[in-house]
């Protein structure tokens, strides 16, 4: 696995990451990591790789856009000094363009999104051992739906930046698309954004696959 013994993994994002995690520090006991994919990632690392002692920190904040991440980056990322960093942001950057179309100061258009995410990656990549970029997603199977089309464009930006700077890349939308071949979107997210436990498992599985997690280690030991 790519994350090594004793390393610290920090995961930052919006409500999909937050999931009622403890504030201000999202780590520790009693549900401190929240009830979403971050908690599942942590649980599986503990259960399957207990000897590695990987420390997982949740720095998601509900409602955040990439603009919000930029404003708290120093406190919530740089001062935390993680060995590994995972970023999933963009859903609210897109969503606000559709659910509050006339409140334009809440919109983060794709040019700002790309410029800001790129700057954060450039600033942080040299200071961590690994950086994982995860795409935003929208659980709509109709690819011509306007919000789905926009979300896909933001996901393409994430992929481009990951390729440019040698980051690991998780296509969250593609992971959901595979499951949605057999399920209606509401089975994974009532509003097509906030996942059910099954939806969070989809995210956790896609993330773990990218970092080289092996589910059945008995075949390796």
pLDDT digits (tens, 9 = 90+) for 92-129: 999 999 999 999 999 999 999 999 999 999 999 999 99
194 is catalytic: yes
Which of 20, 68, 145, 194 is catalytic? The answer is: 194
Q: Which residues pair with 26 in a beta bridge?
A: 58
| Domain assignment of residue 1, yes or no | no
> Are the C-beta atoms of 22 and 35 separated by less than 8 Å?
no
200 is catalytic: no
Q: Give 8-43 pLDDT, tens digit per residue.
A: 999 999 999 999 999 999 999 999 999 999 999 999
Structural domain range at position 102:
8-219
Q: For the chain, how many structural domains are there in total? A: 1
15 is catalytic: yes
Q: 92: domain CATH number?
A: 3.40.50.1110
CA distances from 24 to 16, 33, 77 (A): 17, 11, 13
Q: What are the tokens at 75?
A: 């406190």
| Domain assignment of residue 3, yes or no | no
| Domain assignment of residue 173, yes or no | yes
Which of 14, 15, 18, 76 is catalytic? The answer is: 15
Which of 75, 99, 191, 196 is catalytic? The answer is: 191
């Amino acid at each position: 696995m790519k994350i090594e013994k004793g390393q610290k993994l920090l995961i930052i994002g919006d409500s999909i990451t937050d999931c009622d995690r403890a504030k201000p520090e999202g780590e520790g006991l009693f549900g401190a990591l929240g009830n979403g994919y971050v908690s599942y990632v942590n649980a599986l690392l503990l259960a399957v790789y207990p000897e590695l002692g990987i420390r997982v920190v949740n720095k998601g904040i509900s409602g955040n856009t990439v603009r919000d991440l930029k404003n708290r980056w120093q406190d919530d990322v740089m001062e935390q000094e993680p060995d590994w960093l995972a970023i999933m942001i963009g859903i609210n950057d897109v969503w606000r363009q559709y659910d509050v179309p006339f409140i334009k100061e809440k919109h983060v258009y794709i040019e700002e999104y790309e410029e800001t995410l790129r700057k954060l990656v450039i600033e942080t990549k040299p200071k961590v051992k690994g950086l994982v970029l995860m795409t935003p997603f929208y659980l709509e199977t109709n690819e011509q739906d306007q919000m789905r089309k926009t979300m896909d464009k933001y996901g393409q930006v994430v992929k481009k930046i990951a390729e440019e700077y040698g980051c690991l890349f998780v296509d969250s939308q593609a992971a959901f698309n595979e499951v949605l071949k057999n399920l209606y979107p509401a089975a994974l997210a009532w509003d097509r954004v906030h996942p059910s436990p099954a939806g969070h498992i989809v995210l956790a599985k896609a993330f773990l696959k990218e970092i080289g997690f092996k589910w059945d280690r008995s075949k390796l030991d």
